[in-house]
């Protein structure tokens, strides 16, 4: 039995199925198909981070209680320094500084997924050193996750990556990011939706033949190693607001598979100075409808301009409902809104004219939800729109709306020069099994 100082994680479906930090990361998903959640919650105050300003140092303090007693505990400082070697600036948008944007677009693939992917890669590389069999990471992506995971794990020894994306349902720039790697990274274009891709990954984990032939892990936001590093940028930005203004920060989070917003809720649960949390969804209304009706009704996803959020059955709702099982309590803890494609287009145009800001479609969803808030609520809070991807990844959508070209970051420009390769498969486990074997 674990000592009190050692953190353990339990399946959302069976609290008897537990694992330490490293084991949970390597497994990705619990044996019963559940997701790993902490068995106890540490408490950290703003004073716990005194003297710390860099994302890497704040992440180390935040994550340390979760790695207590684990084989990676002594390496956590090196891991966070390696993973978080790019900025996550909090940039004022409005003149009164009541509205800011948390820019999570400065990593290797210009999307917020870089934070979790690089942390997970740094952890697994250390854990797999000297392993007899290679680790095969399966990742379903609706756009940005696959590119970030591919970049983070490319050419890492002893680790292979298989990326599944829905054919024709990601932007051309995103598809290039998914298919330009080669080496230990393979891309599969699935004739289906993101939900099909996610289902195939889950089925692969339960498949006896695949389990016998290879060691499998996941790099989706179902993996604990993705959520904790994402909680770090909520810690860093909320501390920045607290230190400057003495007020808690409120967040509007573009939401799809719910990993990003669960990370925000976890950060507040631990004790970071966070007030309101608002989930901003596109036309996939499964979560907003649950907030309204109290009935959980997953459905097929629909394609929108904010393609990375096209999720009809978000996996991390299982973690959210594990933490807050009562819908009334959930409504008190957060709120959720849905935005149409036409509203996305209008918000991109309006905020470019008003603020000079160029939003990607996902960030525009959050910006639109901000405008819907009661003016008094906006006036009294310190609001942060979470900027999840660079607009250059969606030039086909954004450039006609603002009437000018979007500058391409150097990191993306380098990827455009690489050759691409992918394999098209049916949306069936058998097709994936054959391709992997």
In the predicted model, is pLDDT for residue 152 greater than 70? yes
pLDDT the model gives residue 413: 87
In the predicted model, is pLDDT for residue 143 greater than 90? no
- Does any domain span residue 428? no
pLDDT tens per residue, range 345-391: 999 999 999 999 999 999 999 999 999 999 999 999 999 999 999 99
Mean pLDDT over residues 56-80, rounded? 97
Which single residue is written with the structure tokens 């970051």? 409
pLDDT tens per residue, range 229-264: 999 999 999 999 999 999 999 999 999 999 999 999
pTM: 0.91
Residue range(s) defining the domain that contains residue 384? 79-112+225-411
- Does any domain span residue 231? yes
pLDDT the model gives residue 414: 85
In which band, very low, low, confident or very high, does the pLDDT at 66 lie, cut at 50, 70 and 90?
A: very high
In which band, very low, low, confident or very high, does the pLDDT at 170 lie, cut at 50, 70 and 90?
A: confident
In 3-state terms, the chain is what percent helix, strand and coil (to 5)? 45, 15, 35
Separation between Cα atoms, residue 310 and residue 243, nearest integer Å: 36
In which band, very low, low, confident or very high, does the pLDDT at 269 lie, cut at 50, 70 and 90?
A: very high
- Does any domain span residue 38? no
- Bridge partners of residue 36, in order along the sequence: 11
| CATH code of the domain covering residue 378 | 3.40.50.1100
pLDDT tens per residue, range 407-418: 999 888 888 788
Mean pLDDT over residues 28-54, rounded? 95
Mean pLDDT over residues 426-432, rounded? 96
- Does any domain span residue 138? no
CB 394 within 8 A of CB 378: no
- Does any domain span residue 96? yes
E-strand spans in 154-200?
A: 159-166, 185-191
- Does any domain span residue 218? no
Q: What angle do CA 334, 338, 343 make, to 5 degrees?
A: 135
The dihedral over CA atoms of 334, 170, 104, 374, expressed in degrees to the nearest 10, equals: -40
- Does any domain span residue 248? yes
- Does any domain span residue 66? no
pLDDT tens per residue, range 186-214: 999 999 998 899 899 989 988 999 988 88
Lowest mean pLDDT among 66-70, 94-98, 241-245, 322-326: 94-98
Q: What's the domain count of the chain?
A: 1
Mean pLDDT over residues 91-100, rounded? 92
| % of residues, the chain, pLDDT over 90 | 80
Give the neighbor-by-neighbor strand order of the sheet with 185-191. Answer: 215-218, 135-140, 159-166, 185-191, 423-426
In the predicted model, is pLDDT for residue 1 greater than 70? no
CB atoms < 10 A from the CB of 106, how many? Answer: 16
Structure tokens at 297: 């009704």
Separation between Cα atoms, residue 428 and residue 437, nearest integer Å: 15
Mean pLDDT over residues 78-86, rounded? 97
In which band, very low, low, confident or very high, does the pLDDT at 171 lie, cut at 50, 70 and 90?
A: confident
């Amino acid at each position: 039995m674990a000592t009190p100082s050692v953190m353990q994680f339990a399946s959302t479906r069976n609290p008897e199925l537990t694992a330490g930090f490293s084991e949970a990361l390597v497994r990705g998903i619990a044996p019963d198909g559940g997701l790993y959640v902490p068995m106890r919650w540490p408490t950290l105050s703003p004073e716990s981070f005194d003297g710390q300003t860099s994302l890497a140092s704040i992440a180390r303090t935040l994550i340390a209680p979760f790695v207590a007693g684990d084989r990676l505990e002594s390496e956590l400082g090196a891991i966070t320094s390696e993973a978080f070697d790019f900025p996550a600036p909090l940039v004022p948008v409005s003149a009164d500084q009541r509205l800011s944007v948390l820019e999570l677009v400065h990593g290797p693939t210009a999307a917020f997924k870089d934070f979790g992917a690089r942390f997970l890669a740094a952890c697994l590389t250390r854990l797999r050193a000297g392993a007899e069999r290679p680790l095969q990471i399966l990742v379903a992506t609706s756009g940005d996750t696959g590119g970030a995971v591919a970049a983070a794990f490319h050419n890492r020894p002893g680790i292979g990556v298989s990326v599944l994306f829905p054919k024709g349902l990601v932007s051309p720039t995103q598809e290039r990011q998914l298919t330009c790697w080669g080496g230990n990274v393979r891309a599969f274009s699935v004739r289906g939706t993101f939900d099909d891709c996610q289902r195939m990954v889950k089925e692969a984990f339960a498949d006896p033949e695949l389990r016998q032939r290879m060691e499998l892990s996941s790099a989706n936001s179902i993996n604990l190693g993705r959520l904790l590093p994402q909680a770090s940028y909520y810690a860093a930005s909320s501390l920045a607001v607290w230190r400057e203004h003495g007020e808690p920060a409120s967040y509007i989070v573009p939401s799809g598979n719910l990993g990003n917003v669960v990370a925000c809720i976890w950060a507040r649960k631990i004790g970071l100075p966070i007030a309101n949390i608002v989930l901003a969804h596109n036309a996939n209304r499964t979560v907003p409808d649950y907030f309204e009706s109290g009935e959980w009704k997953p459905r097929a996803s629909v394609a929108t301009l904010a393609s990375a959020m096209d999720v009809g059955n978000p996996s991390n709702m299982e973690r959210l409902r594990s933490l807050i099982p009562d819908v009334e309590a959930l409504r008190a803890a957060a709120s959720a809104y849905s935005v149409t494609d036409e509203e996305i287009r209008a918000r991109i145009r309006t905020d470019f004219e008003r603020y000079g800001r160029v939003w990607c479609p996902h960030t525009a969803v959050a910006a639109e939800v901000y405008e819907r808030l009661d003016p008094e609520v906006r006036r009294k809070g310190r609001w942060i729109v979470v900027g999840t991807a660079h607009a250059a990844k969606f030039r086909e959508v954004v450039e006609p709306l603002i009437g000018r070209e979007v500058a391409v970051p150097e990191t993306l420009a380098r990827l455009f020069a690489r050759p691409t390769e992918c394999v098209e498969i049916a949306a069936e486990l058998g097709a994936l099994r054959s391709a992997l074997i």
